Amino acid sequence: MSIIMDLKEFGWKEPSLPTPPADKPSCALGRVVEEHKSSYKVITEAGELSADAAGRLYFEATSRTSLPVVGDWVWIDPPPPGGLALIHGILPRKNCLSRLGAGRDNAAGDEEPLAANIDAMFIVTSLNKEYNASRLERYGTLAWENGIQPVALLNKADLCEDTAHYVTATQEALPGAAVLTISALTGFGLEKLAGLLSPGSTAVLLGSSGVGKSTLINKLMNRRVQETLEVRADDDKGRHATTSRSLIRLPSGMLLIDSPGLREVAFAQSSEGLGTTFTDIHELSSRCRFHDCAHSQEPGCAVQEALRTGTLSTRRFENYQKLLREQAYLKTKSDKAAALAEKEHDKEISRLIKAHYKTEDKSSF
């Protein structure tokens, strides 16, 4: 029983442990708590193990999301003397956060997995020049698409004289999300976090470099566990203090996944989360005179009327349109890829049929 309780402390929610795969009876259940370029750290009933993914996982992987990521529950074989443990399988995920890989080198549009099996997303932003409501809307869409509750943490309140302005802007950008004004440096507002997640629940910490994620973790841990760096004074932007993803168990029992700062949050696939992020625009659209209103110059457009009266901000509407265009592009790309795969499948079936009849013709002589 104590073994099960240990894993429950790291997020296992079932009353008992599952049975190992029939072909790998020696495997143990574990959760990935650190991810590096070529190795992992996994917490198991026997403690923390350094591990690598088995060659079969690499061979069968169709994308980076097919490989283990921080937060995954995995089947792991104990290490041989002087060697690494091997991860042989990934248990079904509750969800897996991913974004389109950043940078110009990602011409293929590969997904970059961020974390798996998440209950809440703590979106950290600082109350200075770094604040960006449009970026918050992207994070919110990513969260709601994966069934995750977003929580906005407005950090560095100790350096801001008008926090109410930022709270109002955040509530507009993330309708329905909890919005907390905090200071990771002084500890202001952090007591409110305690009521948001129960012990054993997992939150992912996302935000740009320099917003104070590492300082926040150090404060919540009551000790220095993450390196911190100063932000640039001219634009309030920071450098990457965190270089790899890791799952940390807080003294409260909450599990927190930290990750390097994200400068870009590009969707990896078409998302249905826009309807929740922009529920106000969707509600306005239902009142337009024409059901296919493009919200441009059509008569009786409720969206344009809201823009004219100021009840809907131009920034929010323009970001909504921008995200819709991204979604349309992703859907088109996905449809083309599916059509190409179906075409290749049909060609393979045709080839097999022709080969079958050629074999029959030869056997008739």
CA distance 98 to 116: 9
The pLDDT confidence band at residue 197, using thresholds 50, 70 and 90, is confident
Q: Above 80 in pLDDT, residue 29? A: yes
Amino acid in the structure at residue 191: E
Contact 143, 174 (CB under 8 A): no
CA distance 154 to 166: 8
Burial zone of 53 (CB within 10 Å; 0-12 exposed, 13-18 middle, 19+ buried): buried
Q: Above 60 in pLDDT, residue 360? A: no
Q: Above 70 in pLDDT, residue 347? A: no
**Confidence (pLDDT) at 100:** 75
Q: Which of 65-74, 95-104, 133-142, 186-195 has the lowest mean pLDDT?
A: 95-104
Higher-scoring residue by pLDDT: 194, 301: 301
Which tokens hold the place of 217? 């973790």
Higher-scoring residue by pLDDT: 270, 18: 18
Contact 267, 112 (CB under 8 A): no
**Confidence (pLDDT) at 240:** 45
Burial zone of 211 (CB within 10 Å; 0-12 exposed, 13-18 middle, 19+ buried): buried
Q: Above 60 in pLDDT, residue 208? A: yes
Which of 117-121, 208-212, 233-237, 335-339 is most confident?
A: 117-121
Q: Where in the chain is the domain with CATH 3.40.50.300?
A: 96-258
Q: Above 80 in pLDDT, residue 237? A: no
DSSP bridge partners of 42: 32, 49
Domain 96-258: give its CATH superfamily. Answer: P-loop containing nucleotide triphosphate hydrolases (3.40.50.300)
Question: Do you know the residue count of the chain?
Answer: 365
The pLDDT confidence band at residue 123, using thresholds 50, 70 and 90, is very high
DSSP 8-state assignment for residue 84: -
Q: Which residues are within 8 A (CB) of 141 and not within 5 positions of it... i.e. 6 or more apart?
A: 267, 271, 273, 274, 276, 277, 323
Q: Which of 221-225, 277-281, 357-361 has the lowest mean pLDDT?
A: 357-361
CA distance 66 to 6: 27
Which of 66-70, 210-214, 323-327 is most confident?
A: 66-70
SS3 label, residue 159: helix
- As a whole-number percent, the residues of the chain with pLDDT over 70 amount to 79
The pLDDT confidence band at residue 331, using thresholds 50, 70 and 90, is confident
Higher-scoring residue by pLDDT: 5, 217: 217
Tell me how crowded residue 261 is: count the other CB atoms within 10 A of its CB. Answer: 19
CA distance 313 to 132: 14
DSSP characters over 330-352: HHHHHHHHHHHHHHHHHHHHHHH
- As a whole-number percent, the residues of the chain with pLDDT over 90 amount to 58
Q: Where are the alpha helices (DSSP H) in the chain?
A: 2-8, 55-60, 133-145, 163-173, 213-221, 274-277, 279-285, 302-309, 314-363
DSSP 8-state assignment for residue 240: -
At residue 137's C-alpha, the angle toward residues 219 and 203, to 5°, is: 35
At residue 115's C-alpha, the angle toward residues 109 and 116, to 5°, is: 110
DSSP 8-state assignment for residue 158: G
pLDDT digits (tens, 9 = 90+) for 163-179: 999 999 999 999 999 99
CA distance 241 to 118: 23
Q: Above 90 in pLDDT, residue 99? A: no
The pLDDT confidence band at residue 202, using thresholds 50, 70 and 90, is very high
**Confidence (pLDDT) at 150:** 94
Domain 2-90: give its CATH superfamily. Answer: Nucleic acid-binding proteins (2.40.50.140)
* Averaged confidence pLDDT in the chain: 84
Task: Give the 3-state secondary structure of 299-328.
Answer: CCCHHHHHHHHCCCCHHHHHHHHHHHHHHH
**Confidence (pLDDT) at 187:** 92
Contact 155, 247 (CB under 8 A): no
pLDDT digits (tens, 9 = 90+) for 263-273: 666 665 656 78
Q: Where in the chain is the domain with CATH 2.40.50.140?
A: 2-90
**Confidence (pLDDT) at 223:** 76
